[in-house]
Amino acid sequence: MPQDTRHVIILLCTRNGENFLAAQLDSYLGQSHRNWSLWVSDDGSDDGTPALLEAFRARHGADHDIRILQGPETGRAADNFLSLLTHPDLPPGIVALSDQDDIWLAGKLARALKHLPQEAAQPMIYSAQSFYINARGVRRGGSRPPAAAPEFGTAMMQNVMAGHSMVLNPAAVALARQAGHVDIPYHDWWLSLLVAAAGGTNVLDRKRCILYRQHKHNVMGAPGGIIARLYRIGQVVSRSYGCWIAANARALEGVTPLLTSESRNRVQRFLSAPARYGLQRITLLRDLGLHRQSRPQTWIVYLAAALGRV
């Protein structure tokens, strides 16, 4: 099989990441797919992160286009990533999102390209699974693949596409740029939802391709253990979860020309429905086909809806 020579732009967002950044940068150099460039948005780091980035560019800038940009400095990862995706100078092409504290296994980019056909005209986003490692780099289990890649009905209610492993084909990048810098809680949830709402495809790889580092400064850690599960159930039943869904829905409402007619109709019905409690709210979710990936998780959402949280 001929080698895939497509160019990949790595979008890396940093903020005070000096403790683990060097290992992530080195993992780019270890990729079997070598045709990549690197765009970095640093969100106001006041540690050694800028110096590490400049040193990396000085050593490897002759072989790879490496650009270091000033981030929005809001402290929100979603703002930082969207500022890169919507940057006016970002060229068209394939984009791979990267966190600052992970380590990519050598075949990560090559495997993503195999799942993103060159001839695909529709928006597509690829996401893989991860091995979990602690702050010292010791493996501590790994992610479990969701039941299926999200379509619109599940993408509205749940994010299962790991942002730290996402790769967007050119059509998905163009779609995200058309949508612009929207006000949403999580960039990965937004991107997979946007692609699904626009009639694109979310591609879920069941293979583990990344060492996903778990430490006390994670923006969003891995959902492991009974305490983490109880915490997430509490989030769903609390008002936070409903606020996230409402923010995503309002963002979709703002880009309705990009959506399929079916998605547009479902978003409008969701946002225009009266704020009711109990069975009527549950019925609305069911009528719109909005649910999570498992039946128990969906029933928790229905409980939240009955309490007026969703």
Contact 84, 55 (CB under 8 A): no
63 closest CA partner among 85, 92, 31: 31
CATH hierarchy code of domain 8-213: 3.90.550.10
- Segment 33-80, tens digit of pLDDT: 999 999 999 999 999 999 999 999 999 999 999 999 999 999 999 999
139 closest CA partner among 165, 103, 92: 103
Higher-confidence residue of 117 and 221: namely 117
- Mean pLDDT, the chain, integer: 92
Q: Is the pTM of the predicted complex or chain greater than 0.95?
A: no
198 closest CA partner among 255, 275, 158, 250: 255
> Is a pLDDT exceeding 80 seen at residue 246?
yes
> Is a pLDDT exceeding 80 seen at residue 100?
yes
pLDDT for res 230: 53
pLDDT for res 28: 98
% of the chain residues with pLDDT over 70: 92
Going by the DSSP 8-state scheme, the letter that residue 220 receives in this structure is S
- Segment 106-149, tens digit of pLDDT: 999 999 999 999 999 999 999 999 999 999 999 989 999 998 99
> Is a pLDDT exceeding 70 seen at residue 225?
no
Enumerate residues 6+ apart whose C-beta is below 8 A from 199. Answer: 122, 123, 260, 263
Higher-confidence residue of 264 and 2: namely 264
126 closest CA partner among 82, 83, 173: 173
Q: Where are the domains of the chain?
A: 8-213, 225-306
pLDDT for res 231: 56
pLDDT for res 2: 75
